Chains A and B, each alone.
Chain A
């Protein structure tokens, strides 16, 4: 009995080691570098919080955070709504379900570097004759084109997850609702959606990680431009890591980004632990 209690922990050791070395170790190292005056090579010259000070005085960094917030909210909302609608439609026993599912899921299977270039061609003014749409070269609207392209990419994926959730719902509920004469939309909104809770949480977490690491879409579509209008934090970090040979500042950016993610995830983790405690 006692032996069985130990074995699972023993089996978890390799994963534990990976987490300690690769995740926590890399984080500790990044945090350390962010406190030094490292340029292209990591140095031990300790300068305290100076990199962070510079980071938050940097207009481009602040703009990047702002862009990420706009992008994050719009991207997650749009993906959830479109993904759910697609899943609900397919769930109504349409013909050719398999084909439709494949079509909607296809964008997710492609690299964004490739599709980003295609989106850039499509959205470049004059790229398609007779189609005038100039958001890509507009300072104030360019970030929405990135949202548009990535929603196209990810909403099929959300649909697949939601569809799996919908299939898990007991058909008896539908029969009962029909007997009571409740309209279909009302069943979805008041009965099905609350039952999908765990699926929705998974989807949000997955989409949120996609938001934080947003990089390839911006690089292939706008390169952060026009000007600095569509810059995002991951691009700021990558630029300073290599192009601008300032790994100290880049590390400071990475640490800030990680702390933001932790701050966003903390309420969720807390809620889950509370739920488990009460259950």
Chain B
């Protein structure tokens, strides 16, 4: 009995050795396993991420997909696994301060080689560079860029309300909303969830306050700017938007709000470029069935944000190799275009050829190339904690009869620390 188990042990040892030898041989030949954690789980998103996986597989790697529904959930899993020493080869984060803590703990692989080779200092938009570069080193590989505050409108609803011309200023937008209201339509399709109220506020701050005030408030968290008269005007305009919302807005999902535009029941929605997917799914075309406005005026800041992969540090040579290979594959223009086309976003490099994208995306790409209007979305500048406090203050102001003075104070307090 004893002898037999000894034999078995010897046998398994031999097998193990053979396995190691094979793995050793395998690293020369392509068999690089890379586990990737991401939260792209909706229809369009999973189609998009398949493009990334396909590109990595074509380059000889083995993409192990760990999709986790919900960004918070996915990020929590990534962080827990990194702290627990079982990090994936790559993980998705937003281009924001979400991963600053792990950068400070020195848990991410710097991407300086690829950044230099791709000349990221010049080819990536400046707010993106600032978000992913920490003390001179790049720590994230940007995959897409989303613009958060597009003004979408339904051409059918505009026609019904007798609005002939696309609004070009904030006053014209208010006039259009009034006309929609008079025509018995829902002027502003809004989903009453705190994050959507944040998006709407960023849009109003950008359009009413302009780029300088926007940056003073969100980037510098300048108390004087937050308490200024200009800011008071922004807050009043924001609150005015609430009078154009229907009673059933609280709790509504963003895509249900977009559906109101698709069916022509509502006129306007301020939402990120992901809303386009809803129009496309309903076979509507930009310029024909719906319109998209990046900003009311030629200087309105274009608020960008996006998704990126980070590569947790690993001692294992095969993981390091896999990470290198993945980074190299994912920055190629062909991969980035095929990925972003399905996702409705723009490739992060401003020198990518975007002529195969739709009209709204091309308008956005032109603004990106122009550079002067670019600014980061709030979460690019704020920590998740600050952004959350801002969200609490804004959603209270939006939903209650809080006077504007108090809202201004609440905002200042939220952004103080």
Q: Which residues of A contact B (CB under 8 A)?
A: 39-41, 54, 59-60, 120, 124-126, 134, 136-137, 139, 222-229, 239-240, 242-246, 249
The minimal Cβ–Cβ distance linking A60 to chain B, given in whole angstroms, is 5
Residue on B nearest A127 in the bound complex, by CB: B248
A225 contact from B101, B251, B385, Cβ within 8 A: B251
Contacts of A41 in B (CB 8 A): 79, 83, 101-102, 105
B384 and A226: CB pair below 8 A? no
A243→B79 CA distance, assembly (Å): 12
Q: Which 8 A-B pairs have the closest CB atoms?
A: A227-B399, A226-B250, A244-B388, A137-B250, A40-B101, A246-B385, A245-B384, A242-B76
B109: CB under 8 A from chain A?
A: no
A139 and B76: CB pair below 8 A? no
**B73-124 at interface with A (beta carbon < 8 Å):** 73, 75-76, 79, 83, 98, 101-102, 105
A40 and B388: CB pair below 8 A? no
A245 and B194: CB pair below 8 A? no
Contacts of B42 in A (CB 8 A): none
In the complex, per-residue mask of B59-73: 1 if CB is within 8 Å of any chain A CB, else 0:
000000000000011
Residue on A nearest B98 in the bound complex, by CB: A245
B247 contact from A40, A125, A228, A242, Cβ within 8 A: A125
Residue on A nearest B107 in the bound complex, by CB: A41
Known: A124-B248, A225-B194, A240-B388. 20 other contacts (CB 8 A): A41-B105, A59-B396, A125-B248, A126-B248, A134-B247, A137-B249, A137-B251, A139-B399, A225-B193, A225-B250, A225-B251, A226-B192, A226-B399, A228-B194, A228-B396, A240-B385, A244-B384, A244-B387, A245-B98, A245-B101
B392: CB under 8 A from chain A?
A: yes
The minimal Cβ–Cβ distance linking B233 to chain A, given in whole angstroms, is 22
- Chain B interface SS verdict (over half): helix
B398 contact from A54, A227, A246, Cβ within 8 A: A227
B46: CB under 8 A from chain A?
A: no
A60→B398 CA distance, assembly (Å): 15
Residue on B nearest A38 in the bound complex, by CB: B101
A245 and B250: CB pair below 8 A? no
Check A223/B193 contact, CB under 8 A, given A126-B248, A136-B251, A245-B98. yes
**Residue from the set A120, A124, A137, A224 with the largest chain B CB neighbour count within 10 Å:** A137
A68→B318 CA distance, assembly (Å): 52
B395: CB under 8 A from chain A?
A: yes
28 contacts between A and B (CB under 8 A): A39-B383, A40-B102, A41-B83, A41-B101, A41-B105, A59-B392, A60-B396, A124-B251, A126-B248, A134-B247, A136-B251, A137-B248, A139-B400, A223-B193, A224-B194, A225-B193, A225-B250, A225-B251, A226-B250, A226-B399, A228-B392, A228-B396, A229-B399, A242-B75, A243-B384, A243-B388, A244-B385, A249-B385
**B355-414 at interface with A (beta carbon < 8 Å):** 383-385, 387-388, 392, 395-396, 398-400, 410
In the complex, per-residue mask of B191-208: 1 if CB is within 8 Å of any chain A CB, else 0:
011100000000000000
B251 and A226: CB pair below 8 A? yes
Contacts of B383 in A (CB 8 A): 39, 245
Residue on A nearest B75 in the bound complex, by CB: A242
B72 and A242: CB pair below 8 A? yes
Contacts of A40 in B (CB 8 A): 79, 98, 101-102
Contacts of B248 in A (CB 8 A): 124-126, 137
A120 and B251: CB pair below 8 A? yes
A226→B73 CA distance, assembly (Å): 23
Residue on B nearest A140 in the bound complex, by CB: B400
A249→B384 CA distance, assembly (Å): 13
A59 and B250: CB pair below 8 A? no
Residue on B nearest A229 in the bound complex, by CB: B399
The minimal Cβ–Cβ distance linking A36 to chain B, given in whole angstroms, is 13
Contacts of B250 in A (CB 8 A): 136-137, 222, 225-226
B399 and A225: CB pair below 8 A? yes
The minimal Cβ–Cβ distance linking B205 to chain A, given in whole angstroms, is 19
A123→B193 CA distance, assembly (Å): 17
A149→B114 CA distance, assembly (Å): 55
Contacts of B73 in A (CB 8 A): 242
A243→B98 CA distance, assembly (Å): 9
The minimal Cβ–Cβ distance linking B162 to chain A, given in whole angstroms, is 27
The minimal Cβ–Cβ distance linking B407 to chain A, given in whole angstroms, is 12
Contacts of B387 in A (CB 8 A): 244
Contacts of B75 in A (CB 8 A): 242
The minimal Cβ–Cβ distance linking B345 to chain A, given in whole angstroms, is 22
A247→B406 CA distance, assembly (Å): 28
A239→B73 CA distance, assembly (Å): 11
The minimal Cβ–Cβ distance linking A123 to chain B, given in whole angstroms, is 10
Contacts of A125 in B (CB 8 A): 247-248
The minimal Cβ–Cβ distance linking B304 to chain A, given in whole angstroms, is 22
B395 and A227: CB pair below 8 A? yes
A229→B193 CA distance, assembly (Å): 12
A224→B101 CA distance, assembly (Å): 28
**Residue from the set B72, B102, B392, B400 with the largest chain A CB neighbour count within 10 Å:** B392
Check A243/B398 contact, CB under 8 A, given A41-B83, A125-B247. no
